[in-house]
Amino acid sequence: MIKRQTTINRIFKVSGIGLHSGQEVTLEFLPRREFGIAFVYKGHLIPARYDMVGDTRLSTQIGCHGVSVSTIEHLMAALYFSGITNCLIYIDGPEVPILDGSAWEFYQGMWKAGIYEFPESGVYLKVLRPVEVHHKDSWVKVKPLNTLEITMSIEFRPPVGKQKKRVTDVENAFAIINSRTFVLQEEIEAIRKVGLARGGSLDNAVVIGSDEIMNPRGLRYKKELVNHKILDLIGDFYTSGYRILGKVEANKTGHYLNNLFLKELFSDPQNYSIY
C-alpha cells in the first residue's frame, strides 16, 4: 500500500486522439509538490476533483474559470494504479486522449517516469459507515473495510448479457488497467449526432454488434466489459483526492452515479476519516 504522498520522478508526454472531440491532444506530466492531481488548460488550473465535475455524459468532465477538460477517468485510474497522489498535467486540448481505450498506455508512461515519495501523509480515505446512492435500477454502495474491494455488476443485451466481477486486490488488478471502453453498435449514430465519439474506432473501443464483438481480435479478457466499468469507477473515485478504503458494491453504475456517490460521501464528515 502507498504510505505517503508521491509524484512522478521526471517529466514525460503522451499524445493521441480525443474519443469524443476527435482532436489530436498532447499531455505533459510534471512533478508536483502540492497535494492532488490538477490539469492546466488555456492557462487555468483545474483540480481533478469531484466538486469540479460538470458533464458526465459518456465521460467525466471537470472545469472551472470557463474552461473544461473531459474524459479524465482512464487517466485518473492510471494515476491510482501507479500510486501517484500529486501531479500537474498540461493539456493542449479539451479532452484527454483515448489511446487504446484502456488506462494501460498512461500507466506505462508513469511507470517509466518513476515515483518520488514525500514524507506527508493524508493519502487514504476510510469509509466509516455505509454510504449509498441510487438512480433508477443503478446503485453504488460502500461499507467500511480496511482495504478496497469492488464488486461490479452490469447487464446489456446479448452477446454481453449479465456480467459480475469481484476484485479483492484492486491495487494489483492489472487486467482492469488493460480493459477497454465499449459501446453498442446501434448507439454509435445517436452518440455522434450529439457531437460525441468523433474519434471513436475499433482501435480504441470495443464495439458490440448484434450477435458478436465487432473488433477483429475480439475481447482481451472474457470479462473485459465489466472490468472496464471497474476501471471507470476507480478513476472517478480518485477524483475524491484520496485512495478510498471500503467494500464497494455497484450495479449498472456510470460516471453520473460515481460522482453522486462522492458528493454523498463528503456531505457528512462523519462518513469518513483521512490518514
- The catalytic site residues sit at 255
Radius of gyration of the chain, Cα coordinates, nearest whole angstrom: 18
User: Could you count the other beta carbons within 10 Å of the beta carbon of residue 263?
Assistant: 12
| Cβ-proximal residues to 113 (8 Å cutoff; 6+ apart), any chain | 8, 9, 10, 11, 12, 29
Which amino acid would we find at residue 118?
Answer: F
CA distance 29 to 101: 19
Locate all alpha helices (DSSP H) within the chain, ordered by sequence. Answer: 73-82, 104-113, 174-177, 188-193, 224-237, 255-266
Which amino acid is present at 121? S
Distance CA(99)–CA(240), nearest Å, equals 24
- Could you give the 3-state DSSP secondary structure of residue 188? helix
Total Cβ atoms within 10 A of residue 54: 12
Q: Can you tell me the distance from the alpha carbon of 27 to that of 99, in angstroms, rounded to the nearest whole number?
A: 12
Where do we find the cell 480515505? 125
